[in-house]
Chains A and B, each alone.
Chain A
Amino acid sequence: MNVENRTAPTALVPQDRFLGSLYGRNIRAVIARGLKATWGTNWSIMISGFVEPVLYLVAMGIGLGALVGTVSGPGGQEMNYANFIAPALLAVSAMNGAVYDSTMNVFFKLNHARLYEGMLSTTLGPFDVAMGEIFLALLRGAMYATGFTAVMGAMGLITSPWALLMIPAAVVIAFGFASFGMAVTSYMKTFQQMDWIQMLMLPMFLFSATFYPLSVYPEAVQSVIQVLPLWHGVELLRQISVGIFSWGTAGHLLYFVVMIVLGLALTTNRLRALFLK
């Protein structure tokens, strides 16, 4: 039989390859679609995600900072309050952007817009879709991180050249949240369940040593917070911002590497269950 297609590029030659049925080797098309769609419509969400942490930085850092004075930062070094919370807010914005993209956004496309159903009727596989969406979330995270770092620079909050490394580190944090968030979203059935994620995010934002050092808590509370991902993100960026590193820095990074690997494995598995059932 003549298997050759008139439009040669679509006729993939059957071969047994990595992730076979799950991966069509065309993540690029998912990314291109996302960029085009964002360009057309979602500008307001894009901008609000950038503005929010900046507003916090101005209100808390400058306003509250005048009352607080200095706080004990990485390595016990005293630092201005604004310098103290700025890297934490960057970690929060990386988390928020990634979580929004990988939960609400993915949930909507999954269950209401049926976008993925359409994509998966083509030569794309679930792995292409998941990786494409995560890449978009990271691209957005990188843009936010760059913008926020620029604002920090303009406000005179960058004291070490190491601080530029906060941008790639923020992307790693976003990657962890995005891959994990997507896996969690694949289990969600209703918008009410999606609210649970938001209910988890707010306390994590407020209590992960974002606005004051971890040492204010009793030890039992400290160990709970140290299990949560945002604390690792906050500490990682705070250490990078002043260029003071320890084995702890590597530990924080490792936390996110594990989160990324677990999240991706879980997401791919879930997508297989959802779309190739």
Chain B
Amino acid sequence: MGLPLTTPTADPPGGQARVRSPWAVARAAVAAPFTRREGRELLFCLAGLPFLLVNPLALFVLAVDLSWLVAGNGRDNPSPADIAIACICVGLLLVLLVSTGAARKLGSLQRLLASRLLRIRVAPLPAARRSPGGRAWPGPGPRDAAGWRVMAYLLAKLPVGLIELYAVFFWIGGLVNLSYPLWWGAFRNHPPTARLSPVPVFTPFGWFGEGTFHVATLPGTFAAAAAGAAMLLAAPWVTRGVTSADAWLIKGLLGPGRLAQRVRDLELSRALAVDDSAALLRRLERNLHDGAQIRLATLAMNLGMAREKLGDGGEVPDAAAARELIDAALRGAKDTLVELRSLARGIHPPVLDNGLADALASLVADSAIPVELKASIPVRPTPAIETIAYFCAAELLANAAKHSFANKIAIRAAGQRDVLLLSVADDGTGGADPARGTGLSGLAQRVAVVDGGLTIASPPGGPTKITVELPLRA
């Protein structure tokens, strides 16, 4: 969800660099292979294997080989015609994968793996728009840009996936090397005169230990074990590096593009704006129906009854009752006026026409808790922004008065270049949470409609500071 609601954490990662002792660094390096995170990353590397097979390049090689086998029984090198046919086959296959949505499915599978194992959250792809003119394709069609981006990811996955397998090799090779001294004695109980063929040791530079490093004696196996330990120590960092690269690709290619994300955010905020205005009208109707309308009906009824008590002329049959009814009608008229005034003010406070600073000043004057107001708004925002800012301030002020047990509230409104910053701070008990109650999240929604943002800093125990950022123009 694209709501700009942020809660700053106390200790941002990458904030102040914490000074660590060399000992702690060494301990972290040694412990790194055995953390859960490493396990998940290793699993992610392994899980990438199927994606290497369902891959445009792998498919191409497979197609060339197949056509080569079929056409020439594998005797000659593949002819240019074979390669051309293979190219066409693979091309058609790719179009098919994208247009039926199979690519999207592969992408969402990969996204699922990434979210489970790498803990990165990538928004799902925007729904494919059907091409006008009915369903020519069983899926999103060949012009599905998001599908092609998934395809690009699958292409890029080939080298990345191979490096991921290389990272897996670090773990396996390291473990095998480490175990050499253990099984040496079990299998090498040879007569002393026997000549031993050397055993290859896995290293990062020789895939299967060929040609790099062989051992033929028991002390040699300890060297192999040392090499294994070194590989195991290095393995987490290799894994981390390559999975980070993969994560970067996933974020860039498997999520919605920036434009699509923007469209989603706008769709969301438009829906919120429409809902909000519908809810506002409903509330207004309800207030009129249950308030002013029924008060006026009661007033009219009282006047009607009073008229009856006054009679048609001459003697007044029941003057006392008439007086009482007229008094009630008068009270009703006054109450109705008060109610209508507060209703009108709730729709649009007239003082807002003089500018936000004046409106905030009149808002503050009504507060039961002392409020210190500082407003400097050199460039006047548009009326819509002023209205949103005013109602945000009113609601935040009411919240502070109701929930915070504060002794003092400070409101700041500052116009900076093209942004209006409004903050309401109190010295109360804190613990304001948008998840509880609808007030703060409702505000965030209203602010989001104009691309604004709401930041809440309210640790338990206080103080609370809530900042609303709005563009000057909407």
Q: Do A and B belong to a common assembly?
A: no
